[in-house]
Amino acid sequence: MADISKDILQKIKKDEVRPYPKQYFLLKRSVIWTVCCLSILFGSIAGAIAIFQLRYAEWDLYKHLSHRPLEFALLVIPFFWLIFLLGFTGFALYNFRHTEQGYRYRTLWVILGSMALSVIGGGILYATGLSERLETAFEHNVPFYRDLQERKQRVCLSPEHGLISGKIVKIISEQKIQIEDLQGNIWVIDIGDTIWKGRLIPAKNMRIKIIGEMKEQNRFVANEIRPWKGCREQGRNRYLRHKNKR
């Protein structure tokens, strides 16, 4: 044993090995835990937006669409954010393994714990309404994400099957409105016997989904009109309605 200790000391002197200062380990530990917490935070953001999109996916509209079930699922399920959630979970696992006690825990429990924290955090962010604001920010500032969302929105444009989405460009009368759909086409909508969901009142620039029946080219009879998405979108529509009354 003495010979081994002597050999080690000689090697340390020969290689001029110097111990790391205590501050180095404190900094390393802080960085690892910070990155681990950030991974949970970003996972929570991804989870919040995924919850929001699933909440307003409106699966009951499928009967009005011509898409195959698998194609429809690919368009409405938020795979983009679910993949992000899994990615940040993996990143959190990697960094947790580099903590002092990280090796003690089974991989499965660490993954489940990380995902549980992200989902709980996502639920809190969703409840505050932050998820919709974040999604809107991504749509406005990230071209790739905007293109992805526009493709998903086009699912809600199938007039021959009784579904149109777009924004109101003109209120013709109490019985008719004019909208511009997602492809830029203008439609005259008969709203005489329409059920308005979400306590909506027609206003210019309001974005809506319309369920009904196409009568002829560019004319549609609405049976039901829904808000475009989410309670905050309804708040935006009410703001537009009051603004247009001035």
Per-residue pLDDT of the chain (246 residues), as tens digits, is 455 666 655 655 555 556 666 676 677 777 777 888 888 888 888 888 888 888 877 777 766 666 566 666 766 778 888 888 888 888 787 777 777 776 777 878 878 888 888 888 888 888 888 887 888 888 788 888 877 777 777 767 778 888 888 899 999 988 899 999 888 889 999 998 888 887 788 888 888 889 888 887 789 999 999 887 644 444 444 434 444 444
Rg (CA), the chain: 27
pLDDT at 169: 93
pLDDT at 220: 92
pLDDT at 83: 84
Whether pTM exceeds 0.85:
no
pLDDT at 242: 44
pLDDT at 71: 64
**Element holding 204 (H helix, E strand):** none
- Measured CA to CA in angstroms, residue 78 lies from 124, 145, 193, 242 at distances of 18, 12, 34, 33
Residue 157 corresponds to which tokens in the numbers above? Answer: 């444009």
pLDDT at 140: 81
pLDDT at 159: 83
pLDDT at 151: 72
pLDDT at 177: 92
Residues of the chain with CATH 2.40.50.140: 157-245
Beta pairing class for 176-181 and 186-190: antiparallel
Neighbours of 83 (CB within 10 A): 12
Neighbours of 200 (CB within 10 A): 18
Residue 243 corresponds to which tokens in the numbers above? Answer: 């603004």
CATH topology classification for 157-245: OB fold (Dihydrolipoamide Acetyltransferase, E2P) (2.40.50)
